[in-house]
Amino acid sequence: MAAGAATIHLLSEPTEQQADDAGAKSVCWRSHPLVDDYPRSVLLLAAIAAACAGAAVAFDGAGYGVIAGVLLCVSLGRYLLPTRFTLDGDGAQVRFMGQTQRMAWSQVRRVSRHPKGLFLSDRPAPSRLDSFRGLLLRFTDNADEVTSFVEDKATISKAC
């Protein structure tokens, strides 16, 4: 985690507010950095194409360029493909490529604000395991709404 990260709350793209069966508010949104961050995305796609071409030329085979492209696309999957976020009365949920990660509010021990979103962790202090154990809620245009929602729910879970 970056040294300048503040312990506060944040998130990603336009939200939809809904009422679930219990009447509790929920916030849902999609984050797709490839589409949302257009100018930078063009440069990224050009860099991927250049790396693929460079691998194909350096190793004298188009197959190596394809392998380089597949490896780069897999490693940049969170940037290239959309992610769905849902916050409700029970916790936070992140859906990406058919996989769902969920963290109940009772598990949240730390919320850190980053320039691109909020990081929810089940550990009270920063750890090397954060990237494996926590959830990053990427912002789009709903930072205030998501921050407010997380602050309310995290406070409730700590009081119980």
Domain ranges of the chain: 15-32+83-159, 36-77
Quote the DSSP letter at residue 37: T
Q: Is pLDDT of 58 > 60?
A: yes
Residue 137 CB partners (closer than 8 Å, separation 6+)? 10, 11, 12, 85, 87, 92, 94, 117, 118, 119, 120, 146, 150
pTM of the model: 0.76
Mean pLDDT is lowest, of 58-62, 66-70, 76-80, 142-146, for 142-146
Model confidence at 155, in pLDDT bands (50, 70, 90)?
low
pLDDT tens by residue, 110-144: 999 988 899 999 888 888 888 888 899 999 888 89
Angle at 21 between CA 152 and CA 28, to 5 degrees: 55
Domain 15-32+83-159: which topology? PH-domain like (2.30.29)
Alpha carbon of 72 to those of 47, 67, 150: distances in Å? 10, 9, 33
